[in-house]
Amino acid sequence: MPDLAYVNGEIMPIEKAVVPIEDRGYQFGDGVYEFVASYEGRPFMLEEHLDRLERSMRELALDPVPRADIKKAVLDLFTLSGYPRAGLYIQIARGVAPRNHAITPGMTPQIIMTIRPVQEMPAEKREKGATAITVKDTRWGRCDIKTVQLLSNSLAKQKSLDAGCDDAIFVSGQGIVREGTSSNLFIVSGGRLTTHPLTDNILPGITRMVVLNLCKAADLVVEESFFGIEALLGADEVFLTGTVTELLPIVRIDDKSIGNGEVGPITRRLYDLLREQAMAGGPA
């Protein structure tokens, strides 16, 4: 089966999929998205992803789309693709109209989806850890909405790759550590975990939520509070969380080793618990 796309109700080979040139998602970044991954052919945390998609649409005042229609298309694509480990991208843009900053009333939302095999993180990164740099957070002020406005994220990611690292970590102008370019961030110090609280400045990650629940079940102490670069670089362990990232250990940041420079025991434990839950199909 070829990689597939869904465009406004029609499923087709991905190379045949197109969107109108005056789609506001293309011209203004006026749209939202989600990314859902499957394990053994089963989408993981689908309802939670759809909850967040609907919230993002409300925050941008996009016209609602029936959830049942979106869910059916998602499940159809997972089934038709036949990929046991697939990544499905959903994008909903406001609609198509002659280019104008003002929003033209009466537009029909543009709904597109694509599905491909997940590009797995190299096993070496899981076993030995990844590296990162810190960058100034230049993103727009509503990072809690999962919009297609990702240029700052893309530039930061490329900056990290150009520096020979795997990702970038956003830090505010006031020195507050936020998150990665497509992931949330946790630090471990003295056996306690800390992650940035849910504010307008970070995405409410689905995997972040799963990890918080896993910590609670495993009697691991987690604090949702602000912290700076000193706490980041002085942590015993650092890891990123995300749909494809899953739980990725970071062992070096800005050319400084984190802890002893090796993947820590809490990171390993939580990754194993996350994979166990994902392979089982969801929360117990």
Residues acting as catalytic residues:
146
CA dihedral sign, ordered 20, 47, 182, 149 = positive
| Alpha carbon distance, N-terminus to C-terminus of the chain | 33
Where b means 16+ CB within 10 Å and e means fewer, 213-228 reads ebbeeeebebeeebbe
Cβ within 8 Å of residue 109, ≥6 positions away = 62, 63, 65, 92, 93, 94, 95
Q: Would you say 197 and 185 are in contact if contact means Cβ atoms under 8 Å apart? A: no
The answer to whether 256 and 183 have CB atoms below 8 angstroms apart is: no
